[in-house]
Amino acid sequence: MNFTKVKYAVADRVATISMDSPANMNAFDATMLDELVAAFKMAEEDASVKVVLLNSTSEMADTPAFSAGGDVKAMYDGLNADPPKIDDFTEAISKMANVSLAMKKMSKLVIGAVFGACVGAGFNVALACDFVIAHEASVFMQAFVRLGLIPDAGGMYLLTRAVGTNKALELCLTADMIYAMDAKNLGIVNELVEGEAGEFSAAVAKRVKKFVNGPATSYAQMKRLLWESDFKNFEEFVKAEVDAQTICGKTADFKEGVSAFVEKRRATFA
């Protein structure tokens, strides 16, 4: 596949999938979402791959980001088209769900390396990883309510399993920023790394190498059993999630939230 917004490389039994759209902080559009699903499929089918690393190429950018979430500018343009492109919005939400599903269903470990902003759907893609390493300066946010939306990419399903139902709902309702240390204490992040970008990359490589040297069959069977115990209805959930998000996407609140974001002002909801 000819990747344009994702970089894919395999070395030393590790498939590295890097989100590569630093100009918009790795915001998810249809192209990136399709490429991510394709990359995870390639990694799953490659017998030489033992571990998958999901990161971004923006660690050295002025505003580093794992992902800023959905492409709000694309949403704004779609809402202001004549007629509004609601079907495009629904399709994008379905593609978001496909990314998280691909990660949870694959047999190989997915290690997430979060450096910088991890917001909205980006947060939920990080939650879909099996092990998350974050830089100390990273921040997390379930920003959906600010746009009049609900969490997508399996967000509420994944977040409740990470932090519990009440805390998950709080984070979704308030859209509060979560600093990396708090994310570690809540169980969102498994490992926290201090220092410069180079030190972060070295720490990630060290952790990934430990997993590569471990028993792949054990990893695969643990993931299979977790799917059976905790994620067996995940596919049905994301179908309901897409329906719910589509309902939200047809409201005046959504249009107001997106417009306020693009126009850099506070939203006024009905």
| Per-residue pLDDT, 245 | 96
Instruction: Report DSSP state, residue 89.
Output: H
When pLDDT is averaged across residues 104-133 and rounded to a whole number, the result is 97
In the predicted structure, residue 94 carries a pLDDT above the cut 90: yes
Domain ranges of the chain: 6-195+215-262
Average pLDDT rounded to a whole number, residues 248-264: 94
Whether the Cβ atoms of residue 189 and residue 134 lie closer than 8 Å to each other: yes
CA atoms in the 13 A half-sphere facing the CB of 253: 13
- Which of 78-87, 117-126, 257-266 has the weakest average pLDDT? 78-87
CA dist 23 and 219 (Å) reads 36
pLDDT for 47 equals 97
Q: What is the pTM of this model?
A: 0.95
Structure confidence at residue 99 as a pLDDT band (50, 70, 90)? very high
pLDDT of 87: 80
Query: First and final CA of the chain: distance in angstroms?
Result: 45
3-state secondary structure 32-71: HHHHHHHHHHHHHHCCCCCEEEEEECCCCCCCCEEECCEC
Residue entry with tokens 């791959």: 49
Name the nearest CA neighbour of 116 among 69, 169, 159, 149. Answer: 69
Higher-confidence residue: 270 or 6?
A: 6
Percent of the chain with pLDDT over 70: 99
6-195+215-262 CATH: 3.90.226.10
Residue type, 150: I
Q: Strand 139-141: give its sheet, edge to edge.
A: 65-67, 117-119, 139-141, 178-179
Across the chain, what does the average pLDDT equal?
95
